[in-house]
Amino acid sequence: MLKKMSPMIMTLGGVGLFVICCLIAWLAGVSTVQISNVAFMVGLLLLLVGAAMQLSHAHLFVGFRRSRRQKTYKEKDETPQKPISAMEVSEKKNAPLRFSSWNKWIWIAGACCIGVAVLITL
């Protein structure tokens, strides 16, 4: 459970740290326009990183699935089949989604940073 919550926890921690840094900069005398510009740039950067991760992830998994060598009937007969538990099947089916869950939270962090930039300018 904690492993599935890890992207969310790290994203919320990163956005919280970013907001605290913005508050410290504002208290130190940095203008809100500069803080807003930095927040907007960080948000755009996170959105671009998320898009690049999504594109590379889709490309890598398509190539991985196509390049797997199919076993012949003789090789299948030689290796004994052990029973697979339902947990292993669900982990194998959901394995590609781990990367995209990180990607989803990176996009959310980017949107939050842009939201912080908009709130600062208001």
Which phi and psi angles does 104 have, rounded to 5°?
Answer: -60, -45
Tokens of 63: 């190539």
- The residues spanned by each domain of the chain are 33-60+96-122
Buried b (16+ CB within 10 A) or exposed e, 23-36: eeeeeeeeeeeebb
Per-run averaged pLDDT (10 residues), the chain, 122 residues: 73 87 91 89 85 67 50 58 63 54 78 84 80
- What is the spatial distance between Cα 5 and Cα 105, in angstroms, rounded to a whole number? 11
Query: How crowded is residue 122: how many other Cβ atoms within 10 Å of its Cβ?
Result: 6
For the chain, the distance separating the N- and C-terminal CA atoms, rounded to the nearest angstrom, is 39
Model's pTM, two decimal places? 0.58
